[in-house]
Chains A and B, each alone.
Chain A
């Protein structure tokens, strides 16, 4: 229950500032209620005058004009409420989506890596759009139902209490039925989504395996599978709808019978007891359907409102994720209050000291203990160890992308938190194994390496230094060739060189490099080797190393095993005193089977 109330709190929070708009909703609803009553009153009076009292059309002209005015007023207030609902919806969606975007943009690196990207995008897009009907339907209808049925009921009671009583007694059945429908629909609709997920799964699976299926001549069989799960989805959908339709049927019967009973009662009152005039009876007969349809509308709106609540609850869950993630792995560098940072980073390669640093992913996840290490200014360090030993995690701790669970990271003797994030990252280039290529031109992709505006010349030069020149020449638009979503169209080696170009543009004081584990093309291998050497002149460099060449060339080697920093020293030292290291090097040096 508490979850639910929190879910709706984001919905209500989002429109809290718009008091006037909500007030206007009430005002328009009052006007609409009054207009409905006036419309019924005018129609019944006019018919009464013309039909019973046999007045001429001229006698009722004024009243006809007034009726037209009332009708216009009613339509306008309906329109007004709709507009306010849409206004609230647009604002609220902006707010909620803004929160979600802000959350994603400020997430920690482990939080941003966890979970499915597709799911998060769908939350930001689809779940937020789902919130729409809460504001554009549910809230305006709520406001209307708060006034209109009550107003109608009071008027009917003043005219003829019998009918009022029937309305009062039958009205509660409608919300009760609506709730029943809602409850049963909820479980059914979960079933439906399960079916849809299964269908999507089967389809995607088949799509990806289509080549295998073709080669084995099994496409027909897969078609049958698709058909089966597609029909399963249809049946699940129909299951929900059947429930909904049956209940709607019952509802309509209730409404119909209630109207029928009231009509009959009116007729008897007029005919037998003669206590009712035609005008009043007709007036009531006009009001009764309006009464029921207002309540029914609320039910429909309530249904879509609940869908919105469910969707927004999902967004809330996303927002709450941050709390738990923050506790464990907040950024090493704080982003808030940049101006208050007391220390500015000295120019020149930084020295980095890990003071008893440890880290753990989640409560039970992989844990890392680095102990104490100092990397001197301008030193070149290689991190080695078998796969899964925590090399990249260590690199992330050093970059400040992860914050240590305990211990401290000292840069030039000062804790990392004392520096501003922008300044710290500005000094650094980090070449990952899989650099991300943003959709944009090659030039734009290189330019993000520097934090300032870069001249075209500088970008071109960086590209050349990174060995991209032949590639760029080959392309029709040169540096302005768009490289699409996720860098489609570039091979692994080309992406690496693009990342190198970013680093060349930045000329970092701290160079971090996650060496590729697989063989790239020879050209890229050569470029990487040469360029990294050049870039590392006068910079502190830390490499997650896989090449013997790199390891041998390092001033110092950090050896990782199962999350522990076991030893550090030069190649010769480690080869002498650390059997695991010697074994690792020897095993592969000889070539062996591999």
Chain B
């Protein structure tokens, strides 16, 4: 996706508003030029003591032009901004739509804060592109051409002078302002990002920095970086100022040129004196209208950068091969096998899983345990085809995940993640996610099964489930999984926030409901694993032990030691 096609497509959508904006802008520009032309002409005419009615006609003209100009300027602003903000709004939505198929892969590359900065900040700065770069030049060229044609009616030489000045304003000055600008801008951006990162680190690592006596040094570095940044910003702003000042000078210089040329032409008898004041004012106004041109290149630069960042975001991440048509058989529990599975996220310097072999028979109950960061969650994500293994393969009922359509895997799975998403709304909305026709009785009975009977179906749920405790969120997610169909249960520490008693009760309920299904539990605690068909112990992405509880305890190996350490912990956080 090229950055320009993004914007072109957006603009095509709003073409009507854009056309109206251009039209209004043109009228406003012409109106302005006409207004000053008329007043210059009027005052010159007045010197000849003309009949009063000429004057009245001219004054009325001046007034009407003034009103037309103000009104069409209003129209231009309104329509161009409406078009722009509609485009931005559409860009944001389409950005999200593009992002959706890329999760969770994209989080290996980008952090959500950065993505937010892009969708909000970068999209926002694109408004400069639409408002100042894309169509204002169209308006300006139209106004310039009309003015030049008008001037040509009085003197071809004055018109030629205006053409030359126009070229200078449109080509020479912007490139002058752009001189070295690209480099300065880049520098400002880099320095700003670096400073912001360093400040963040100062705050995050504050206590450690204090204890290690590093604060003073860090502060000094920050102060230096801050001064550097201010200097670079000054330099960048200085470039802009040069452009603006040069344009202001050009504006006056053009009226000077018209004045001098006009005086010469009048002396030569090629121009009537009565038009001199008018032409001087026309030239001046025409260039004042174009004041934005000087800064056009830097806005262009800025928005190009923003557009590139946006396009990059979605481009960088490989969307993966298209989904194959294979589907998971609907009947019966699912058997899973992992063969020599290694998974390494693109930017990671080591794999999160390496050479994992697992056989999970249909209908069996498996627990995966191990320290945080061992790769437990990654196994679930690979089974769900949220990632594809870097090496090796995963088979569900004998079919490799590469052959299966991801949605068919999801349709057969009941999943509770570590971080479950809840809609803002009511409990009911969040339970009916899989099936909108679920009856209240069914939902209420499931709620009581997961010990959430105290919650009514109409109780509100805030964004991210903010009004629910962690334990309530976990139970709600479990209820949602129970209500969803599927013979494969993938449960990632689903009860870690519950007290021991409730945890036991809820686990029993889930185990009863899923007794004939394949279940994989990721467990943080090592209690209650006695009934599992298989316990898999992971460390640093590798399976270090596997077997039943009794086997592992008898072996007195890794699991046994973990169990001892857990016993040792007198009081958790």
Contacts and interface: CB of A to CB of B under 8 A. Distances in A.
Contacts of B540: 491, 521
B570 A547 contact: yes
B196 interface: yes
B322 interface: no
Nearest to A235: B85
B130 to A, nearest CB: 13
B35 to A, nearest CB: 7
Interface string B174-211: 00000000000000000010011101111111111111
B558 A238 contact: no
A282 B112 contact: no
Contact of A264 (B59, B216, B464): B59
Given A74-B252, A263-B42, A519 B565 contact: yes
Contacts of B237: 86, 89, 132, 136
- DSSP class of A's interface residues: helix, strand, loop or mixed? helix
Interface size class of A (residues with CB under 8 A): 35 or more
A401 B96 contact: no
Given A97-B230, A438-B201, A502-B212, A214 B100 contact: yes
Interface in B523-555: 524-525, 527-528, 539-540
Contacts of A278: 43-44, 46-47
B170 interface: no
B226 A94 contact: yes
Interface in A216-272: 216-219, 222-223, 226-227, 230-231, 233-234, 237-238, 241-242, 245-246, 248-249, 252-253, 256-257, 259-260, 263-264, 266-268, 270-272
A86 B570 CA distance: 62
B371 A492 contact: yes
Nearest to A257: B66
A387 B66 contact: no
B113 interface: yes
- DSSP class of B's interface residues: helix, strand, loop or mixed? helix
Contacts of B15: none
A486 B198 CA distance: 11
A432 interface: yes
Contacts of A249: 70-71, 73-74
B366 interface: no
Contact of B527 (A75, A231, A385, A593): A593
A191 to B, nearest CB: 15
Given A105-B215, A208-B421, A51 B570 contact: no
Nearest to A475: B349
Given A208-B419, A584-B570, A271 B52 contact: yes
A122 to B, nearest CB: 9
A341 to B, nearest CB: 15
A56 interface: yes
B561 interface: yes
Contact of A47 (B209, B276, B349): B276
B234 A89 contact: yes
Contact of A211 (B103, B260, B433): B103
A118 B39 CA distance: 56
Nearest to A91: B230
Contacts of A481: 349
A56 B563 CA distance: 107
Contacts of A362: none
Interface size class of B (residues with CB under 8 A): 35 or more
Interface stretch (B153-161, B242-250, B324-332): B242-250
B348 interface: yes
B264 to A, nearest CB: 4
Contacts of B23: none
A230 B89 CA distance: 5
Contact of B219 (A54, A72, A105): A105
B410 A214 contact: yes
B373 A493 contact: yes
Contacts of A78: 245, 248
B151 to A, nearest CB: 16
A259 B214 CA distance: 65
A34 interface: no
B262 interface: yes
A100 B82 CA distance: 38
B7 interface: no
Given A72-B249, A210-B100, A112 B206 contact: yes
Given A124-B199, A518-B572, A98 B280 contact: no
Nearest to B104: A211
B241 A82 contact: yes
23 contacts: A51-B44, A71-B249, A71-B253, A94-B226, A101-B199, A104-B202, A109-B206, A109-B207, A125-B199, A208-B464, A215-B413, A246-B74, A260-B59, A264-B62, A270-B46, A401-B210, A401-B211, A425-B211, A448-B212, A476-B349, A489-B348, A520-B371, A546-B570
Given A401-B210, A474-B350, A519-B562, 15 more contacts: A47-B280, A51-B44, A75-B245, A90-B234, A101-B199, A105-B222, A112-B203, A205-B421, A207-B116, A209-B464, A212-B415, A213-B100, A436-B208, A519-B565, A522-B565
Interface of B: 35, 39-40, 42-44, 46-47, 49-50, 52, 55, 58-59, 62-63, 66-67, 69-71, 73-74, 77-78, 81-82, 85-86, 88-89, 92-93, 96-97, 99-100, 103-104, 112-113, 115-116, 119-120, 192, 195-197, 199-216, 218-219, 222-223, 226-227, 230-231, 233-234, 237-238, 241-242, 244-245, 248-249, 252-253, 255-256, 259-260, 262-264, 266-267, 273-274, 276-277, 280, 348-350, 370-374, 384, 386, 407, 410-411, 413, 415, 417, 419-422, 433-434, 463-464, 480, 484, 500-501, 504, 524-525, 527-528, 539-540, 558, 561-562, 565-573
